[in-house]
Amino acid sequence: MNYSILSRSYDLRGIYGTDIDDDFFFRLGYAFARVTGNTRIALGYDARLSALALKTAFTRGANLAGATIVDLGLVSSDMLSFATCHYADIDAGVMITASHNPRDYNGMKSLNHKGEPYNVKKYGPDMVKIMESMNGDNGELIAEKIEHRDVENDWVEHILDFVGRDVDFSAYTIVADGGNGAAWAFMTRLAERAGFRIVPLFLEPDGNFPNHHPNPMHEKNREDARQALLRESADIAFVFDGDADRVMILDDTGEVLTSGIISSVIATWLSEKYPRAGYIGNATVSHIYQDTVESLGGYYEREMVWHVYIREHMMRDSGIVYAGEHSAHYFFRDNYYMDSGIMAGMVFLAAAARSGQRISDIKKQYEKYVTLEETNFEVADPKSAIQKLEELYKSEKYDMFDGITVTYDDGSWWNFRPSSNEPLLRLNMEARTQERFDSLYAEIMEHIRTFGQGSED
């Protein structure tokens, strides 16, 4: 195995059997416990077919290093994060997941009891040294160093405490599409405790993902939820990714809400409790979010894409109460700085319940821009393409904060970011009118064609 995969700046992910295997995770469990010094590690996993084997291997390695594993079972990533920070007897947490990646992938993300993520790029080199020095798999499960804990009820009660016990959800019907991932771990219990009617869709965990790919960012993966919503005359739909920490929301007409609109509603809700608070967005989230924050008297700061950067930024500034990414990750300071799709969904629904408005009517209030959320384009050389775009638009107002962002005086803007591991450029853009949007999009597409466009995703 190529242990250099641990030197990437993002969470550990790879193809099971090619990039990672059971022996890799045995060594990883040992090295993680040694390098971090943690003696009690919460361990969770999602529905992927390789999850149980990797969990067992990691546990054997951690046990060999002297650490106790607190096995949470099949949980969502936000449940693992909650448990790690909430329970005083937990030193760190490890989630075995590859999020929305195809079924052959798996991986790991981790954090300490304070909610600080273990940056793979920072800790990876030391772990690699230990993993390479090991003489094979000679670890065994140590019964007295394995505990089991069910966190579902505590997690659900935490969500309800956060949104407020006075909110009446009983009038709502919610379609919950789990994509055969980890949303099963909390969604039914939450419906029972909160009192809303649930229309369950693919909540049964199945690592084959037989119904649709567990990436709700793609429209085709939301179609089943849209049809169920219209068929059941539901009020809203939540569509989760594989480890259920991200959610896409559909309104009562089946239309998707952009992350910018969701973050705007959440910021408005939070501003009542935290006036003049701080909020974070990345370079690619809709500008309606920043507009809303500033109209509420708060302050808005940008950050790079990735949960590690977001959490570290929030922890540096105690005035920041929330962060929203274009990719449907929503972070709350009062949730141990963690992102949670279901918490964002329930806060949004609480705001709707308080207003008495239909979800589609709330959506209309924030539709100030024509928005294209992240769309991928295959190009021959993404980094070279970014450099060429910088040269082409050097006379415009632009920055290179995260990819290239070009902003115009009329409020229009676009951003291209290169993928970190695929030959892709990721485009996000907005304009105040459809005519301006169409003109800008046509201009950009002309450039994309010169970069060797393959296909649009």
Task: Indicate which residues carry an active-site annotation.
Answer: 99
Q: How many CB atoms lie within 10 A of CB 407?
A: 15
- What's the CA angle centered on 278, arms 273 and 284, to 5 degrees? 125
Of 280, 260, 284, the C-alpha closest to 375 is 284
Q: SS3 for 147-180, per residue? A: EECCCHHHHHHHHHHHHCCCCCCCCCEEEEECCC
- Please check whether residue 124 is in contact with residue 6, taking contact to mean a CB–CB distance below 8 angstroms: yes
Instruction: Output the CA–CA distances (angstroms, integers) from residue 114 to 157, 289, 311, 316, in the order listed.
Output: 20, 28, 11, 13
- What is the arrangement of strands in the sheet containing 370-378, beginning at the earlier edge strand? 370-378, 424-431, 413-418, 404-407, 397-399
- For 332, the 3-state DSSP assignment is strand
Q: Which residue has the tokens 């570290």?
A: 312
